[in-house]
Amino acid sequence: MSTAARQQIVDFKVLERFLPQNDFASFIRGTVDGETSTMMGFTTSWAQVSYSSEPDSNKGTVSVKITDMLNIPSYMSIPPSSMKTSRPAVSSYKKTTSYDSLTVLETYDSTTHQGKLQITLATRFLIEITGEGIGGPEILYSFLGRTDIDSLKKAALAGTGAR
């Protein structure tokens, strides 16, 4: 039996544990959403939490989403190191960078104040952190730092995410 055959998709209730858990700076944690579903024979699972700034702050919103794409190998088989890109524009950019030994695809538009970080972890999990009305991508990295990456890596190695 192959490793992929032994591994199970991580239920969205388990993925919720890896998301940032508390309010942060002037951001208030909202409710968690997620699902585990099967479509056309492929099962995926995702969990997401959104944060909004306090009413008297203009820091916008941030969303953190973790998707287990174990059963969609054509997407996840692309190693993160092969996603090197750099596309600067007048008010926006898209680049590949490194954060705490992770390869991160970072986009930001200074006109719309929107940004996004995308990280492929263990050729299985996709972590997406998006922000609207933010002053720069630094706040997105703060949320990445509050995401339980180490436990998510262990779940990928365990194959079930039940730990």
DSSP, res 133: S
Instruction: List the beta strands (DSSP E) in the chain.
Output: 27-39, 42-53, 61-68, 92-99, 102-109, 114-121, 125-132
Percent of the chain with pLDDT over 70: 78
Q: Output 75 or 42, whichever has higher pLDDT.
A: 42
Bridge-based pairing state of the strands 92-99 and 114-121: unpaired
Bin 97: left if φ > 0, else alpha if -120 < ψ < 50, else beta: beta
Ordered by start, the domain boundaries in the chain are 3-79+122-158
pLDDT, residue 162, reads 45
- 157 band by pLDDT with thresholds 50, 70 and 90: confident
